[in-house]
Amino acid sequence: MTLVYLLLSLGIFVFGEFLEESIVIQLADGPHANYLNLLDLFCFGSYVDYCQKKDQFPDLSDAQIRKLKQLTIIDEAYTCRQIPYKILMDKLSISSLRELEDLIIDLMYLEAITGKLDQQRALLDVDSAIGRDVKQEEITHLHTSLTQWCERVDYVLNHLANEIKLAHVQRQEVDTHKEQLTNEAAALKIAIKSQLRKAQSDASRMDIDECLGLPELMLP
């Protein structure tokens, strides 16, 4: 079936729009309903879901299982930034570290996730991951979460604006106070110079008076 090849398409990790196709919807009432279940699995499910309900799906090829495991890794990377290898290996039912790293490297090559493999700590360090399909019943919850996030952003922005305004006011007060101190210092400097000049003038007059008062300096 075309659906099978679609699920294997390189670089395609979102399939929700195909669930709305009339030819796909018709599968629900026919002998190939398990293929509709398969599409639903690739849209919203994981390898763990497949293992728990294998009888609801057609037999999967190795390539399809590999793709489903990659979707499972994307799921984990979308919700967690540091994922221990052990968690992934348990969820994917694999024991080979090389197999796990190959799956992750392919996803990085396709830019489905970005990050690095930390072999020393045995974990996947995630920078970003693409989103997967969202169920219709989850849209309301998603809308609520986004609304709350926007409200928190607005609060932070308003708080920052107030802090910037306060800092500006405080800076103006500091500048005003600094100008006041500068003016007072300048006035004090002028007053001191004036007093010094006056003191020097008074001292000069005293010297002259003292000299005039000495008899030996008087004219005969």
DSSP 61-76: PHHHHHHHHHHHHHHH
Q: Residue 56 carries which side chain, given as an amino acid letter?
A: Q
Same domain for 125 and 17?
yes
Amino acid identity for residue 137 in this structure: E
If asked whether residues 123 and 141 sit together in one domain, one would say no
Domain range for 187 is: 135-200
Q: 112, 74 in Cβ contact below 8 A? A: yes
pLDDT at 219: 47
Beta-bridge partners for 118:
123
pLDDT in tens, 57-79: 999 999 999 999 999 999 999 98
Cα(16)–Cα(132) distance, rounded to whole angstroms?
Answer: 9
Residue recorded with tokens 């002028």: 190
Q: 19 with 121, same domain?
A: yes
Same domain, 71 and 15: yes
Structural domain count of the chain = 2
Are 121 and 142 found together in one domain?
no
> Is residue 34 in a domain?
yes
Same domain, 30 and 52: yes
Give which of 71, 80, 78, 68 is closest to 142, Cα–Cα. Answer: 78
Share of residues in the chain with pLDDT > 70 (%): 89
The mean of the pLDDT values for the chain is 85
- Domain check: are 117 and 41 in the same one? yes
- Asked if 161 and 194 sit in the same domain, the reply is yes
Q: pTM score, two decimals?
A: 0.68
The answer, yes or no, to whether residue 99 has pLDDT greater than 80, is yes
Q: Are 193 and 125 members of one domain?
A: no
Q: Say whether both 105 and 188 belong to one domain.
A: no
5-9 average pLDDT score: 82
Do 25 and 52 belong to one domain? Answer: yes
Query: For residue 40, is it within any domain?
Result: yes
Q: Does 110 reside within a domain?
A: yes
Burial class (CB in 10 A: 0-12, 13-18, 19+), 166: exposed
Position 26 scores a pLDDT of 78
The answer to whether residues 142 and 44 belong to one domain is no
